[in-house]
Amino acid sequence: MRRAHGLKILNARHKEIRRLKREGHVAEIHGNKFWNSSFLIMDHLRRHPLAKRTRVLEIGCGWGLLGLYCAKRFGCRVHGIDADAHVLPYLQLHADVNEVKMMAEKKTFQQLTVDYLSNFDLILGADICFWDELTPVLINLMNRAQKAGVKEIMIADPCRPPFNDLSNKAQERFDEVTVVEKFLSKPVRASGEILIVNTRYN
Ligand SMILES: C[S@@+](CC[C@H](N)C(=O)[O-])C[C@H]1O[C@@H](n2cnc3c(N)ncnc32)[C@H](O)[C@@H]1O
């Protein structure tokens, strides 16, 4: 187990992780571990804290550490969605280990309707744009989020080509887009960008 940003993060050899694998929870769309881009957003939020009342949705949440960080550090109400039901027990395990609450359910990006998204102020996603076909899916999701009244969307990535494409398309489509470059040496060496779309404008 390692500790970072006030969170306990279990590694693949931890007995509870091995137990979940033995029980058949084997992630099918790369949600088999905690990915580093979440650290890029955690580091950004540490410098730009969230208000406690912020309603956060973590999309493609995997083990949910980014959402759990928002719940633990800022006291936000956080919900997670992921297309792969097998990641959800790992999220619940980390919620228990860290003594925070985070609700999560199986849903795809495509299933998030305007009505559903209207329950949130902020959408977060880390390492979720890794296939070319995810770029238009995520742009469409941003459009629906804007209609729903979501205020801000942050997506972090080590700059894979589909993410760079997403970033370019978001800059063409939305008026208020910021791209934050990050280079971390702690808690891991990681680099990448955070695409921040302020959906209040347009
Ligand atoms: C590389 S993992 C990142 C997981 C987590 N965000 C992290 O940083 O550790 C990508 C996650 O996106 C989920 N995912 C992929 N396509 C999706 C879709 N269309 N809708 C919802 N989740 C999706 C996968 O199941 C997986 O958990």
The CATH number of the domain holding residue 78 is 3.40.50.150
- Among 33-37, 53-57, 126-130, the minimum mean pLDDT is found in 33-37
**Residue 183 domain boundaries:** 2-198
Q: Is the CB of 34 under 6 A from ligand 1?
A: yes
Which atom of ligand 1 is the closest one to the Cα of 27?
25
Count: domains in the chain = 1
Q: Is the CB of 162 under 6 A from ligand 1?
A: no
**Helix/strand number for the chain, H first, E second:** 7, 9
Sheet with 190-198, side-by-side order of all strands: 103-106, 77-82, 55-59, 122-126, 152-157, 190-198, 177-184
Q: Is the CB of 36 under 6 A from ligand 1?
A: no
pLDDT of residue 12: 86
Strand-strand pairing, 55-59 and 77-82: parallel
Band the pLDDT of 202: cuts 50, 70, 90: low
Q: Is the CB of 69 under 6 A from ligand 1?
A: no
